[in-house]
């Protein structure tokens, strides 16, 4: 489907997952063109709602997505039924055991991480920026799912790439301080010093997220290589444009 990037992972056939692209046939204009899915970024609310309606219709979603009020934290909300919430809960991850529930994560450089078990029964979705990764958002979601981590699959969707995410010592130190001891060396390797800019590093955020997932016991981890910063045709990027829209990553399952 034009304007939609399906998740590339060996999920069961009853699992549907992927991310919207800014090329989807939306109605937003200016820096939000054309398929902004975020109501909190300054776009016209009517345009955003129409974009969401069009995406839901194009994907033939079984229910309205569960939108979150994302705050770069570790809260996980469990959704038991479709239309189970009257307003967006404040959380950065969601899980569901229920067919037809559509989990939604909005991003524009942060990583969307989608999860399912091999039997296609339990789903999870995480909003993972560097703060969320450092604080333990990934671990919180995996633990809340209650499945054996070895039985889980993960798709790390498009986010800021390892050649676009420049960080200072504050971010590097915070990430390393939060790293599990057994993978601290691998975490250090995810930061490449910039010789021409002392005190700055290139940060491989997708790799850092994958390391956290592996430390939990997951082995089936699939990273989407696209970079939201450098691929301006398909993706919104807050770091690149500041004022911009949001993509949405969705995951749901059939019965």
* Per-residue pLDDT reduced to its tens digit, 113-158: 999 999 999 999 999 999 999 999 999 999 999 999 999 999 999 9
Residue 224: pLDDT over 90: yes
Q: How confident is the model at residue 86 (pLDDT cuts 50, 70, 90)?
A: confident
Q: Which fold does the domain 4-159+218-253 belong to in CATH?
A: 3.60.140
Give pLDDT, residue 97: 98
Give pLDDT, residue 126: 99
Give domain limits for the chain: 4-159+218-253
* Per-residue pLDDT reduced to its tens digit, 50-63: 999 999 999 999 99
Distance CA 77, CA 253 (A): 18
Least confident range of 81-85, 108-112, 189-193, 244-248: 81-85
Q: How confident is the model at residue 82 (pLDDT cuts 50, 70, 90)?
A: confident
* Per-residue pLDDT reduced to its tens digit, 161-174: 999 999 999 999 99
pTM over the 0.95 mark? yes
**Count of Cβ atoms closer than 10 Å to residue 61 Cβ:** 18
- Compute the Cα dihedral for 83, 7, 154, 88 and give only its sign: negative
Give pLDDT, residue 83: 75
Instruction: Report the b/e string of 182-202 with b at 16+ CB within 10 A.
Output: ebeebbeebbeeeeeeeebbb
Q: How confident is the model at residue 182 (pLDDT cuts 50, 70, 90)?
A: confident
Give pLDDT, residue 85: 79
Averaged pLDDT, 83-102: 93
**230, 250, 247, 93: CA torsion to nearest 10:** -90
- Compute the Cα dihedral for 103, 215, 132, 26 and give only its sign: negative
């Amino acid at each position: 489907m034009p304007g939609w990037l399906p998740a590339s992972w060996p999920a069961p056939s009853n699992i549907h997952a992927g991310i919207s692209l800014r090329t989807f046939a939306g109605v937003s204009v200016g820096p939000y063109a054309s398929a902004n899915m975020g109501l909190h970024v300054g776009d016209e609310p009517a345009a955003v709602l129409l974009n969401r309606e069009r995406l839901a219709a194009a994907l033939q979603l079984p229910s309205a997505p569960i939108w979150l009020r994302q705050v770069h934290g570790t809260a996980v909300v469990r959704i038991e039924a479709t239309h189970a919430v009257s307003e967006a809960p404040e959380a950065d991850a969601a899980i569901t055991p229920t067919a037809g529930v559509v989990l939604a994560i909005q991003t524009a450089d942060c990583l969307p991480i989608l999860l399912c078990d091999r039997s296609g029964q339990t789903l999870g979705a995480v909003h993972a920026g560097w703060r969320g990764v450092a604080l333990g958002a990934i671990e919180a979601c995996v633990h809340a799912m209650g499945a054996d981590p070895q039985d889980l699959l993960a798709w790390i969707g498009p986010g800021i790439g390892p050649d676009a995410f420049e960080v200072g010592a504050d971010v590097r130190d915070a990430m390393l301080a939060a790293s599990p001891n057994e993978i601290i060396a691998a975490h250090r390797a995810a930061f490449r010093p910039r010789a021409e800019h002392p005190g700055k590093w290139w940060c491989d955020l997708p790799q850092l997220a994958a390391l956290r997932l592996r430390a939990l016991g997951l082995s089936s981890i699939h990273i989407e290589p696209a970079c939201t910063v450098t691929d301006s045709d398909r993706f919104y990027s807050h770091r690149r444009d500041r004022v911009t829209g949001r993509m949405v990553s969705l995951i749901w399952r059939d019965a």
